[in-house]
Amino acid sequence: MLAGFVVSVVMLAGPRGARAAEIRTVARTLGEGYMVRVPGPEGQLLSRRRLVQYVNLGVYDLLAPRDRGELRRAHEDGQLRLVTSMRVRHDFGTYQTGADGRAAALVNQIDGRQIDVMFAYLEAENLRGMIDLRAGRQFEMSGLDWYAFDGAWFRVRTPVHLGLEVFGGFQVDGAALFGFPTFEQDGTAGTPADNKRSPMVGAAASVVGLRWFDARLAYRRTFSPLGVNQSVVNDDGSVGLPSAVDQEIVSLSAAARAADGRLSPYVALRYNLGTGRLDDTSAGLQLAFTPKHMLRFMYLRTRPVFDLDSIFNVFNLQAFEDARLVYQVQLGDRWTLAARGQFRFFRDTVTAQLGTAPERKLTVGAGGGATAGFRVRRFSARFDGYGLGGEGGLRVGGNLDTRTMVAWDRVAIDGRVFALRYRDEVTAARQGYSVALQAGVNVQLWRGIHLAVLGEEMFTSFYSQAFRVFGALTADWTLRTGR
C-alpha cells in the first residue's frame, strides 16, 4: 500500500518523461525463534519470537531519453531516481516483557523501536555533466567513518578529476519513531543527551573519474546547539541542554590499481579532532603475481569512539591491532586453497601515562588458519580451520559449509558444521566449547520469489542444547512503465 502510494505520487507529480520510469520493489520477511537464558542462579529462559519486514522501493529513470530512438536516457545526459527502505519489526516472545530494572532499559534501547526508515532520498546523477546530489535520509561511508543523516549532499565534478562535496542536515536519532540505531552515537544511552537533536555539516574532496586511483578526504562536525534542544529535561530537572560538540572527524581513504590490476594497495583512517587521536587505521595490499596465485596483507588498528559528551572519553581505552597475511592459490577450476597467518598486538599505555613502567610494553597473540574450497556444477563446499593463542586468550575451531543445487537449480540445500574451543586468560569462567549443526533449504517459488528456512542445533558448555529456527521470504520484482 505504501509502495503504491509513493509510486502514484511520483508518476503524477514528475515530469512527462517519467512515464518510462522503472519501478523496483523488494519485500523481505524474516522470522526467527530461540530461547535466551537469564544470568543468575535461577536460569530463567526467555523466548525470542522476532518478525522483521523490509520493504524497499526504487523508482528509476525519472527523466526521459533526449533522443526519441533511445530506450534509456544516456548517462551523460543525467538522471533522477528515488530510493527508499523501511523496516517494521516486533518481538512476540517474552524477551522484552521478562526483563526488569536496568536490563529492561537496555532491552528497550536495543529493540524498543518498531518502525525504522533505513534510507529515503531523491538522487540526481550527472546533471549538466558535472553535478550529483541527494536529498533525504541517507548514509555515507568515508573510509572508516560511517554516518547517517537527514539532509542534503551535493558534489561538483571538475574537468581535472576532482570532486568537491558539501553536505549537511540532522544526525539520525535512533530513539526517534522512524530512526534506526545502527549509526547511533555511543556513550549517552539512558541520559537526556540521548534524545537531543544534532545538526551535522561537512565537506570533502575526492578523486573521480579515474579507473586506476580513488581517494577521498572528508571533514564532518556534529553538534548540539541549545537553540534546538531547549525542551530537553536534564537529570537535575532543569530544561535546555547546553550547547556541545558531539563529534568532529577527519577521514581519509585511498586505493589504487597498478600493473593491470595485479597490484592493489589501499589505506583508510579516521582522526578524531575532539579527542586529538587517531581512532582507526586500515591498510592493505593485494598482489596477484600470476593468474592463479594471490597474496594479501591486511592491517587494522581501532579503538572505540564515543559521543564527546560521554564520560567514557575520560578512560584510556587501549587500541586493538590486528595484522594478517593470506596466500591463495587456484588449483584448476574446482579447488581454491588459502593459508593465513594472524597477529594481535596489545600495547600497555595505561601504566606509562600513570608514571609507572609497564611489565611489558608489547604483548602479542598469534595464530593462523587454512581454507579449502571446492566447486562443481551443482555442488560447492568450503572448509576453514583456525587457531589463535597468546595474549588475549585461546580460540581454536573450524567449520564446514556445503550447498547442493537440485530440481533444475530451483532448490538449494545448505549444511554447516561449526566447532569452537575458547579460553579467556583473564576470567577463568570464560572458557568452554560450542558445536553447532545447521541445515537449511532455499527454494525459488517463482521468478524473483524465494523462501529460505534454516535450523540450528547448538551444544555448548552452558547449554545441553539450543535450537533455533530462522526463515526468510523474499519477493523482488521490477516494472517498467511507458513506451
Which comes out higher in pLDDT, residue 98 or 2?
98
Which comes out higher in pLDDT, residue 461 or 41?
461
Confidence of residue 6 (pLDDT cuts 50, 70, 90): very low
Residue 96 has pLDDT above 60, yes or no: yes
> Distance (Å, rounded) from C-alpha 113 to C-alpha 90?
8
- Average pLDDT of span 299-318: 80
Using H for helix, E for strand and C for coil, what is the string for the chain?
CHHHHHHHHHHHHCCHHHHHCEEEEEEEEEEEEEEEECCCCCCCEEEEEEEEEEEEEEEECCCCCCCCCCCCCCHHHCEEEEEEEEEEEEECCCCCCCCCHHHHHHHHHHHCCCEEEEEEEEEEEEECCCEEEEEEEEEEEECCEEEEEEEEEEEEECCCCEEEEEEEEEECCCCCCCCCHHHCCCCCCCCHHHHCCCEEEEEEEEECCCCCEEEEEEEEEEEECHHHCCCCECCCCCECCCCEEEEEEEEEEEEECECCCCEEEEEEEEEECCCCEEEEEEEEEEEEEECCEEEEEEEEEECCCCCCCCHHHHCCCCCEEEEEEEEEEEECCCEEEEEEEEEEEEECCHHHHCCCCCCCCEEEEEEEEEEEEEECCCEEEEEEEEEEEECCCEEEEEEEEEEEEECCCCEEEEEEEEEEEEECCCCCCCEEEEEEEEEEEEEEEECCEEEEEEEEEEEECCCCCEEEEEEEEEEEEEEECCC
pLDDT at 179: 76
Which comes out higher in pLDDT, residue 190 or 332?
332
Largest CA distance in the chain: 78
- Average pLDDT of span 315-339: 90
Confidence of residue 1 (pLDDT cuts 50, 70, 90): very low
- Average pLDDT of span 284-308: 91
Residue 103 has pLDDT above 60, yes or no: no
pLDDT at 420: 96
pTM for this structure?
Answer: 0.81
- Average pLDDT of span 94-123: 69
Radius of gyration of the chain measured on its C-alpha atoms: 26
477, β-bridge pairs: 25
Q: What is the pLDDT of residues 9-65, one digit of tens each?
A: 444 444 444 356 889 999 999 998 887 776 666 667 778 888 899 999 999 988 888
Give the whole-number percent of the chain exceeding pLDDT 70.
84
Which comes out higher in pLDDT, residue 158 or 146?
158
Name the average pLDDT for the chain.
84
- Average pLDDT of span 374-388: 96
Residue 331 has pLDDT above 70, yes or no: yes
Residue 112 has pLDDT above 70, yes or no: no
Residue 296 has pLDDT above 50, yes or no: yes
Residue 225 has pLDDT above 90, yes or no: no
Q: In the numeric block, which cell numbers belong to residue 465?
A: 542444547
Confidence of residue 239 (pLDDT cuts 50, 70, 90): confident
Residue 157 has pLDDT above 70, yes or no: yes
